[in-house]
Structure 1
Amino acid sequence: MWTWHVTFDGDRGADLHALAAAHAPLLDVPGLDVVPAPWLHLTVHGVAFTDEVDDDDVDRVVAAARTRLAALEAFDVQLGPAVLHGGGALLPAAPAEPFHALQRELRAAVADVLGPDRVEGDGAGFRPHVSLAYSNRAWDATALAERVRAVEPAVARVRVSEAQLIRLGRDEHLYRWDAAHPAPLGRSAR
């Protein structure tokens, strides 16, 4: 699937990687698949399955997104503290509004190229977060909650200066991508 993500590789993800590493041993329990550091991401908006768009469409969506994101400022965000639920463990993003603005522009870029009828969902349920672990069967969040709450520091701070259109797959209980097309936020200076 082609989807817009914020990824956290290199220096921009150092705080997040440290926080995820502090949580990893606690979340390495039956029923959870811990997300390795290279695959930490924040999903912003799905575009289409790879067999539904050709390379020219992908290039045009990226170009449209780059044009639209040029009007947005880079922003700082806090991820965490961790929340456990039936779907796994995640770090909510705050403030959420910059991610909503990012999603609106990316959805508009998809509509510009593929048409409004090809834009997935309405965006109303978007809750920006980074998943630390995904559930692969039923598990007991109560048993981990107190230990997870004790992780210090409880939050990571990151700067978001671009979105990435990635070709995403999920094999062996892990989301991975093998192609990334960056779309920088235009006003990325600190």
Structure 2
Amino acid sequence: MSPMPELMADRWAKREMLPPGQGRIYWHILLEDHPEVRAMASTAHERLAGIPGLDLTPHRWLHLTVLIAGLTNEISDEQMTAMVTEAGKLLAQVRPVTATLGRVLYHPEAVMLEARPAAALAPILEAAQTATRTALGRDGIPAHEPWTPHVTLAYSKAAQPAAPIIAALGRQLPTCEVTVGSIDLVVQDGPEYLWDWRPVAKVPIGSPS
């Protein structure tokens, strides 16, 4: 994520795009239900308005990516159910996590908000990894290494200078805290830029009170 990029790149040109009807299964923390996160995204999108070459993340799908479980043609409904069941057992032992958003991260392919502290969010990643391994007999795929928890505000879809984007958005937005109380298993169908997502299950974090 550092140093600051000089040039943005076309993310979609570098990604393997699946056709409609095929997809990837992700563990995400979906954030649509957090008005403070939607407000931050609105502020960022307003600052970025008018800058070409960006795909802004829809408010409906604001998220923190935890883990890629695999492809839909490799994972059965029964295995997804097993993943969710195992994740529920593991996450019942984890306390809900309060993360701070505000610092802006720049990557040649995306503009993001860092979620801190990463160490506090790590047990959620570990539970997703263990549940995936238990149900599938293999590890999931990290979205990036090392894992840097973040919420993507916009993806780059063109080669262009990064300076205007950095100047418009800056390096810091007014901070907010968000309590992460669940994790979602989501099917992302077809090309990523179409945002054809289908949440399969929401797994609570922490034991019911």
TM-score range, shorter chain: 0.7 to 0.9
- The answer to which structure has the higher helix fraction is 1
User: Which amino acid in 2 is paired with 1:82?
Assistant: V
Give secondary structure in 2 for the equivalent of 1:173.
helix
Task: Kindly state the Cα deviation for residue 121 of structure 1 after the two structures are TM-superposed.
Answer: 5.0
Unpaired runs of 5+ residues, structure 1, are none
Are residues 19 and 174 of structure 1, via their aligned partners in 2, closer, same or farther at CA, if it must alter by over 3 Å?
A: farther
Q: What is the alpha-carbon distance in structure 2 between the residues aligned to residue 66 and residue 109 of structure 1?
A: 9
Let me know the Cα RMSD of the aligned residues.
2.2
Task: Kindly state the Cα deviation for residue 174 of structure 1 after the two structures are TM-superposed.
Answer: 4.2
Are residues 124 and 100 of structure 1, via their aligned partners in 2, closer, same or farther at CA, if it must alter by over 3 Å?
A: farther
Structure 2 residue 76 is the aligned partner of structure 1 residue 54: yes
The answer for the alignment partner of 2:26 in structure 1 is 3
* TM-score, normalisation: structure 1: 0.88
Q: Is the 8 A contact 1:27 1:133 kept in 2?
A: no
The answer for the alignment partner of 1:181 in structure 2 is 201
Are residues 108 and 157 of structure 1, via their aligned partners in 2, closer, same or farther at CA, if it must alter by over 3 Å?
A: same
Give secondary structure in 2 for the equivalent of 1:71.
coil
Q: What is the alpha-carbon distance in structure 2 between the residues aligned to residue 149 and residue 188 of structure 1?
A: 40
**Percent identity of the aligned residues?**
28
The answer for the alignment partner of 1:169 in structure 2 is 189
Task: Kindly state the Cα deviation for residue 119 of structure 1 after the two structures are TM-superposed.
Answer: 3.1
Q: What is the alpha-carbon distance in structure 1 between the residues aligned to residue 208 and residue 97 of structure 2?
A: 8
The answer for the alignment partner of 2:147 in structure 1 is 126
Q: What is the alpha-carbon distance in structure 2 between the residues aligned to residue 183 and residue 163 of structure 1?
A: 5
- The answer to which structure has the higher strand fraction is 2
Task: Kindly state the Cα deviation for residue 137 of structure 1 after the two structures are TM-superposed.
Answer: 1.5
| Cα deviations by residue, 1:18-50 (Å, 9 ceiling, x for unpaired) | 011011022232121111111110000111111
The answer for the alignment partner of 1:112 in structure 2 is 134
Length, aligned pairs only: 185
* TM-score, normalisation: structure 2: 0.80
